[in-house]
């Protein structure tokens, strides 16, 4: 598909059209719902779809390789798990050690997210962690431990005041 602008410049848009089979559509539809709360959730999904667990996992992998499924993630309701406090902590890590420090931070079980972000002249924090605890004091202890182990003293912490509605995109209803 090509779009032409009034100045005569042309832009090419990359468009992919995918025709999903019934089984592929059923897999995508099932995966967009909550995972079953059982010891083998993918086996339960496979039974619901009507294929084996190995076939399901192979299909998910193939759909991901083809970019039909771009990401697979979970929504965790931390408060329902007894985590009353959570802190987004932004860290100013040395650029040459960001990967190493991020990997160390991610080893803490209280850290659910750890990622690098670009810096700006007015915002020099390049590592972000989400830390969950049963109390603010617990989060503070973890933050202090991370600071001690990484040597990073330049950080800020922001605490959530309420949990907002979390939703995922629904492609098939």
| CB-based contacts of 153, cutoff 8 Å, min separation 6 | 147
Better-scored residue on pLDDT, 32 or 157: 157
Give the C-alpha separation, 90 to 98, whole Å. 13
Confidence of residue 167 (pLDDT cuts 50, 70, 90): low
Instruction: Say which residue, 6 or 107, is predicted with more confidence.
Output: 107
Confidence at residue 72, expressed as pLDDT on a 0 to 100 scale: 72
Displacement of CA 118 from its chain's centroid (Å) = 18
Give ∠ CA 129-148-94 in degrees, rounded to 5.
60
- Provide the residue ranges of all domains of the chain, joining segments of one domain with +: 2-65, 78-159
- CATH number for the domain running over 78-159: 3.30.70.3460
Q: Which residues contact 156 (CB under 8 A, 6 or more apart)?
A: 89, 90, 125
Q: What is the pLDDT of residue 105?
A: 97
Percent of the chain at pLDDT exceeding 90: 58
The whole-number pLDDT of residue 67 equals: 83
Write the pLDDT tens digit of every residue in 67-107: 888 877 766 666 677 677 889 999 999 999 999 999 999 99
User: Does 3 score more than 60 pLDDT?
Assistant: no
Q: How far apart are CA 146 and CA 104, in angstroms?
A: 8
Report how far apart, in Å, the C-alpha atoms of 102 and of each of 91, 92, 126 are.
10, 11, 10
Of 140, 142, 114, nearest in space to 127 by CA? 114
Using one digit for the tens of pLDDT, what is the confidence trace for 145-155?
Answer: 999 999 999 99
Identify the H or E element spanning 87.
Answer: strand 85-91
Alpha-carbon span 92 to 98, nearest angstrom: 9
pLDDT digits (tens, 9 = 90+) for 33-69: 888 889 999 999 999 999 999 999 999 999 999 888 8
Instruction: State residue 1's pLDDT score.
Output: 43
Average pLDDT, the chain: 85
Question: How confident is the model at residue 6, as a pLDDT?
Answer: 46
Longest Cα–Cα distance of the chain, Å, equals: 61
- Higher confidence at residue 10 or residue 19? 19
Radius of gyration of the chain, Cα coordinates, nearest whole angstrom: 22
């Amino acid at each position: 598909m090509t779009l032409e602008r009034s100045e005569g410049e042309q832009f090419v848009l990359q468009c992919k059209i995918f025709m999903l089979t019934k089984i592929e559509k059923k897999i995508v539809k099932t995966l967009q719902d909550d995972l079953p709360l059982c010891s083998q959730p993918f086996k339960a999904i496979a039974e619901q779809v009507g294929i084996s667990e190995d076939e399901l996992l192979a299909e998910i992998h193939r759909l991901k390789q083809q970019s039909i499924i771009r990401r697979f993630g979970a929504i965790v309701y931390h408060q329902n798990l007894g985590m009353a406090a959570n802190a987004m902590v932004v860290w100013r890590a040395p650029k040459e050690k960001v990967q190493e420090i991020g990997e160390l931070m991610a080893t803490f079980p209280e850290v659910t997210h750890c990622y690098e972000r670009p810096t700006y002249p007015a915002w020099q924090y390049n590592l972000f962690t989400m830390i969950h605890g049963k109390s603010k004091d617990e989060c503070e202890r973890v933050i202090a431990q991370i600071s001690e182990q990484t040597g990073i003293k330049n950080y800020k912490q922001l605490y959530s005041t309420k949990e907002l509605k979390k939703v995922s995109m629904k492609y098939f209803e």
